[in-house]
Structure 1
């Protein structure tokens, strides 16, 4: 089954990968700006998010996304866990990727900070108690910076509730096919964005990748939390357009 996705506009290909507490709806502030700037924009729902239910067998997110590619090179924009998927794609299929923009991107296996461990422990406790609404509110409080407005917060609330619907906390963790890959294989230029109001893990990941990837830069944002594209969409839209045009 092909994952749910939507294609808008025409021009160079840009594919947006959502955070793992959101779905493709998180990119609603970006899609019109990118298409107006002359890009062909694809948004996807990874399995277990939005309109892509979990399958009845193991799968791999990167393979699902690459199956949507056309013949032309694709620029990848990834938020949080979507950034990790973008890294895997760029490492496994370097010839297909024209550039990377990671917004507070994740990196599997990165040691969790005390702050992140405390958040995870609190979320697990709320879920175990059956208080999913409180778990949703914990995510809002943890991941948004001070510039987030009520519209952005409500959007993430709805998307997080959808995650709980598709991935019921009482069910076993979804099973993914693990494929070996190495960031050293990435050749695409990359911009690594971090937020001063985010958990420190994601700044550290951005700094690490900026020092590891061959054509990478780290852009710290002093106003941002974990979701800069929702907190100040106009600023991020301008950043994306300028970066993608310079690929």
Structure 2
């Protein structure tokens, strides 16, 4: 079964990895600017998101996604859970990843803050009760920052509702193939963005990664929530393009 994906433009390859609150549509504000800047952009839906249903056999997201790029080198731009996947790809294929831009990235094993635990508990309760509309609204309130407008909130609402449709509460836990990887194999130059209005976990992760990755810079956006590329693309796109061009 093939992942849903799109390739646009010509030039050095850039791979866009979406947040697990969203799907590949979250990058709609970035693709035209990246293409105009001279990049070939690949974006896909992970299994259980957007147009990629969960398969009937075990899979590994990183393995499937890297196949989309063939043998070419590429830069990675990842948001939240997509940032964590970007870290895995950069760690497992260090010779392929030319640059790594992480927006409010997750990190496996990082201790969850009381705020994040409270969110998870409330979401689980709503999903278990079958109130997926309320669970969707909880995600929009939690993850979309104050700089976003109604259009951006509605986009996240639609994408998150699609996640619940593809991964209903009565579905057995999908089986993914876990591959061990370590941060110390990452060699790519890294840009880390965090949002002042996000949960504290993600700033802590950015600060930690900036201290352990070999060539990393952390920028905190004082206006941003968890999804800055959606909230204010006119401010984020120049940061990404300048970083990718420099590499």
TM-score, normalised by the number of residues in structure 2: 0.99
Shift of 1:94: 0.2
Task: Find the counterpart in structure 2 of residue 8 from structure 1.
Answer: 8
Shift of 1:240: 0.8
Unaligned runs of 5+ in 1: none
Shift of 1:108: 1.4
Task: Find the counterpart in structure 2 of residue 210 from structure 1.
Answer: 210
Quick one: distance in 2 between partners of 1:72 and 1:2?
Answer: 19
Quick one: distance in 2 between partners of 1:103 and 1:52?
Answer: 23
Asked if 1:79 corresponds to 2:79, the answer is yes
Shift of 1:173: 2.2
Per-residue Cα deviation, 1:159-189 (whole angstroms, up to 9, x for no partner): 1111011111121222211101001000000
Per-residue Cα deviation, 1:78-114 (whole angstroms, up to 9, x for no partner): 0000001100000000000000000001111211000
Quick one: distance in 2 between partners of 1:172 and 1:117?
Answer: 23
Shift of 1:129: 1.2
| Partner secondary structure for residue 53 of structure 1 | coil
Quick one: distance in 2 between partners of 1:75 and 1:17?
Answer: 11
| Partner secondary structure for residue 77 of structure 1 | strand
Shift of 1:72: 2.6
Matches within 5 A, 1:131-170: 131-170=131-170
| Partner secondary structure for residue 139 of structure 2 | helix
Task: Find the counterpart in structure 1 of residue 178 from structure 2.
Answer: 178
Quick one: distance in 2 between partners of 1:87 and 1:174?
Answer: 22
Asked if 1:128 corresponds to 2:128, the answer is yes
Shift of 1:74: 0.3
Task: Find the counterpart in structure 1 of residue 89 from structure 2.
Answer: 89
| Partner secondary structure for residue 94 of structure 1 | coil
Quick one: distance in 1 between partners of 2:175 and 2:197?
Answer: 32
Per-residue Cα deviation, 1:36-64 (whole angstroms, up to 9, x for no partner): 11100001001100111000011101001
| Partner secondary structure for residue 102 of structure 1 | strand
- Taking only aligned residues, the RMSD between alpha carbons, in angstroms, comes to 0.7
Quick one: distance in 1 between partners of 2:20 and 2:175?
Answer: 15
Task: Find the counterpart in structure 1 of residue 31 from structure 2.
Answer: 31
| Partner secondary structure for residue 119 of structure 1 | helix
Quick one: distance in 2 between partners of 1:35 and 1:167?
Answer: 32
Task: Find the counterpart in structure 1 of residue 118 from structure 2.
Answer: 118
The alignment of Structure 1 onto Structure 2 pairs a total of residues equal to 247
Quick one: distance in 2 between partners of 1:121 and 1:114?
Answer: 10
Asked if 1:246 corresponds to 2:214, the answer is no
Unaligned runs of 5+ in 2: none
TM-score, normalised by the number of residues in structure 1: 0.99
